[in-house]
A and B are shown apart, each in its own frame.
Chain A
């Protein structure tokens, strides 16, 4: 079953919802990239090894930011129309 062709131009509200959806799709990618930052850290004893507290604060801080962004996006998504586009 072919998809229905989408109109090339959306009204402003609809357009905004689409961009929020884009952001919701991108958020896990951003999160993953930032979560892989420790791969660049040095092992214990090597130069560039983070302090214990710094490593802890970085990861928990990042996590908290991700949660906050997800909460914000989900609020925006829910206030938008319940469209069915994937």
Chain B
């Protein structure tokens, strides 16, 4: 079999047809719900391999033939990122899933307050950066065609190369439009495409390994022999370019995170965060295997092929030169699959970004959302298809401008440096809450400008030679290869260093001095602390939209069934039947996220905001949210307070209960006692009355018995009087007879009435001068209180020589009268019971002859009626009572 142009075209078409079939079948299986295996971690890992493009397949060998091991930096950087997936990618993927991020532009736009201009800026940078990359793929395909077909008699001329590139671009555009932009999936996932690129990943790995095995064991003669050849190769493997070594490891790691197609497969197409755990080692293994035979192929190629052969094509030309037609075809297909898979995913990613971040916002700006939802879906789809074609056209244009002479790896690195400009905003946005949209915009714009000036524009020669040599406007410090007069750096390092330095510097500086909008701060919070919260971020927006209008609107964007499912699910979640949930902020936020999957976060936010009549999140909204949070905090504080209060009440109730229990016991005891008290005089009166009825009584006996009856009747009367008195007081029916008098007179009266006279046993210590206090009160009642206290002292003071000290003071508008005796006092545990009615205390206090336990209770009621108080005074060396009279009355009398 001879490989000719026709064979190649046929093989290419057959290969593409196979991809169609695979993608088609995968999509159908997915739709039928039988595609579980499509979502395995292995498919995910293989899809990540679109990192390895034609640059890897062809360019790595060329790179190694020119610069030795430096080609490894391009794979070591991403390997480090994947090995450190726990740190970096996990967070990106989590954010991507919770925020329904559709592209890297969407990530940046969403993070910085769903900013439409930022999304557009990132899109522009990505398009500019990816254009050379796509050109690289077209170049490699046309070169590989040329390399094989050139051997024929009718060698390909430059025009035919362009033709090959052109038709390749057209074919890729058709495939991508068919599978990548057929529908607007809210999750923006393309299972057919993912499976197709997984198949391509296997094809290119097998092809490269086959060529490598052929070179090592077929040509070089084994591993040891190969190592010996490498040792003696004309190119040094370590070139001593230290700056490029470190710089390129960093650059490739940065590009791995920021390349739109990598973001697409890594974050957007990710089905399960746990796939990262497998990809974390399997992807480095994949690129390890892809790189394994690069150096042997390069070294053997340099040895065997004629001088001046393009080392970028060794993978193809080496087997060809050895007459291995089958292997050459496999190698050609491997290169084709490397190029096509990259172009397909990159154009899908870019088309999504262009339609969501440039076309949709412009369209929405032109007319209100309600009128255009249906149209918008159509516009977005058309925009995507046109973008696919446009991006490929740009790549073709770049290819035409640069010619086919540039080394593949040089073109690739220009693209890397371009997309790496997104890194500061992306990393900063994910780890730093203080990053602002203006900071990101300033950094991105400055970095992209510097990159374009120092690397991108010079790469295809649009800058005149005078500008390159002397700088723009005659300013030598603006020379693209020697900014600020720093010369002698490698142009790539020079560009990367300046652009990223200025980019990151401005990003941080402007972020530090500007103030983010509320939405920015909210988004920043949910990005940076994505692991702290559940999957539902806080919603914003006013719930003024009619659910029906939203449903109509959503079904135009998502498709009718998807929208109905979404609404029914939400209604169920809210506990309603039917398809119309309440338009709660939570639901609006969810809807916005779903729509963001179709049209991007900024556009979705604008539309839902417009429908919900809250087009911008105002400070008021934020305040309302904050207020809600505040209310919750206050509520819980109140609850805490209430429970503390309840605790206190419970304690008070326990105390009261204990007191009641004691009182109830006392009352029972007292009832039996009072019935005894009533019964004793009654018994005496009855029996003595019976005796008095006897005829044969002596007159003196009769008189004595009559005296006993009278005394007992008096005692009964007194007891009943007390009870009556207390009940009258308790019911507040006591009428007071206020008169003016001196406290000293009241005390005199009380002492006399209580039977305390000089020489009566109880010594009373008084200070007569202090007692001359005029009072206006019910003097009789006050005297009753004093009598009670004094007679208690007389009855119960158990000191050998009993004393009662009476002290009168005036203090802060009150008159205080203290009665302190020198007895044993009242035990602490009984003090609080002393003023309860029916209380009789234990110990010596029980021996009173006529105490009914009502005295102090009556005193307390009386003092309360008089506007004062009576209390037991502890710590006075004996029983002590303090009577307090309000001074208002006293002063009125003065």
Residues from chain B with Cβ under 8 Å of A43 in the complex: 238-240
Residues from chain B with Cβ under 8 Å of A28 in the complex: 80-81, 83-84, 87
- Complexed CA–CA distance, A38 and B237 (Å): 11
Is B236 interfacial (CB-CB < 8 Å)?
yes
Q: Digit string of A41-71 for contact with B (CB within 8 Å is 1, else 0)?
A: 1111010011111011101100110111111
Residues from chain A with Cβ under 8 Å of B76 in the complex: 35, 59, 63
Residues from chain B with Cβ under 8 Å of A63 in the complex: 76, 79, 284, 288
Interface of B is mostly: helix
Residues from chain B with Cβ under 8 Å of A41 in the complex: 238, 240
Contact (Cβ within 8 A) B288 A55: no
Question: B633 to nearest A CB, angstroms?
Answer: 12
A66: contacting residue among B231, B242, B284, CB under 8 A:
B284
A-B contacts counted at CB < 8 A amount to 123
Question: A29 to nearest B CB, angstroms?
Answer: 8
Contact (Cβ within 8 A) B231 A53: yes
Residues from chain B with Cβ under 8 Å of A85 in the complex: 531
Binds A, one of B275-283, B318-326, B492-500: B275-283
A3: contacting residue among B79, B230, B239, B532, CB under 8 A:
B532
- Complexed CA–CA distance, A32 and B246 (Å): 10
Contacts of A20-34 to chain B: CB distance below 8 A: 21, 24-25, 27-29, 31-32
Contacts of B244-258 to chain A: CB distance below 8 A: 245-246, 249
Is A1 interfacial (CB-CB < 8 Å)?
yes
Q: A31-B80, A51-B231, A53-B231 are in contact. Are A78 and B87 (CB under 8 A)?
A: no
Contact-size category for A = 35 or more
Contact (Cβ within 8 A) A56 B280: no
B227: contacting residue among A46, A53, A64, A84, CB under 8 A:
A53
Contact (Cβ within 8 A) A66 B79: yes
A56: contacting residue among B82, B83, B230, B245, CB under 8 A:
B230
Question: B830 to nearest A CB, angstroms?
Answer: 50
B538's nearest neighbour on chain A, judged by CB, is A1
Residues from chain B with Cβ under 8 Å of A64 in the complex: 288
- Complexed CA–CA distance, A74 and B275 (Å): 10
Contact-size category for B = 35 or more
Residues from chain B with Cβ under 8 Å of A66 in the complex: 79, 83, 284
Contact (Cβ within 8 A) B83 A39: no
Q: A21-B86, A63-B76, A86-B91 are in contact. Are A52 and B236 (CB under 8 A)?
A: yes
Residues from chain B with Cβ under 8 Å of A35 in the complex: 76, 80, 249
Is B529 interfacial (CB-CB < 8 Å)?
yes
B70's nearest neighbour on chain A, judged by CB, is A38
B231: contacting residue among A52, A67, A70, CB under 8 A:
A52
Residues from chain B with Cβ under 8 Å of A71 in the complex: 281-282, 285
Residues from chain A with Cβ under 8 Å of B232 in the complex: 52
Q: A3-B532, A63-B79 are in contact. Are A38 and B238 (CB under 8 A)?
A: yes
A49's nearest neighbour on chain B, judged by CB, is B238
Question: A34 to nearest B CB, angstroms?
Answer: 10
B276's nearest neighbour on chain A, judged by CB, is A74
- Complexed CA–CA distance, A68 and B79 (Å): 12
Contact (Cβ within 8 A) B69 A56: yes
Residues from chain A with Cβ under 8 Å of B282 in the complex: 71
Q: A44-B240, A85-B531 are in contact. Are A52 and B230 (CB under 8 A)?
A: yes
Contacts of B33-82 to chain A: CB distance below 8 A: 68-69, 72, 76, 79-82
Q: A36-B246, A66-B79 are in contact. Are A74 and B531 (CB under 8 A)?
A: no
Is B292 interfacial (CB-CB < 8 Å)?
yes
Residues from chain B with Cβ under 8 Å of A55 in the complex: 68-69, 237-238
Contact (Cβ within 8 A) B284 A67: yes
Contact (Cβ within 8 A) A39 B239: no
A35's nearest neighbour on chain B, judged by CB, is B76
- Complexed CA–CA distance, A25 and B533 (Å): 22
Contact (Cβ within 8 A) A70 B238: no
Residues from chain A with Cβ under 8 Å of B249 in the complex: 32, 35-36
B525's nearest neighbour on chain A, judged by CB, is A1
Would you give 13 A-B contacts (Cβ < 8 Å), ordered by A? A1-B532, A21-B86, A38-B242, A41-B238, A43-B238, A44-B238, A50-B238, A59-B69, A60-B291, A63-B284, A66-B284, A69-B83, A77-B86
B contact residues vs A (CB 8 Å cutoff): 68-69, 72, 76, 79-84, 86-87, 90-91, 227-228, 230-233, 236-240, 242, 245-246, 249, 274, 277-278, 280-282, 284-285, 288, 291-292, 295, 525, 529, 531-533
Beyond A39-B246, A59-B72, A67-B284, list 16 extra A-B contacts (CB 8 Å).
Answer: A1-B525, A24-B87, A27-B84, A28-B87, A32-B80, A36-B245, A39-B242, A43-B238, A44-B236, A49-B236, A52-B231, A63-B79, A70-B83, A71-B282, A74-B277, A85-B531
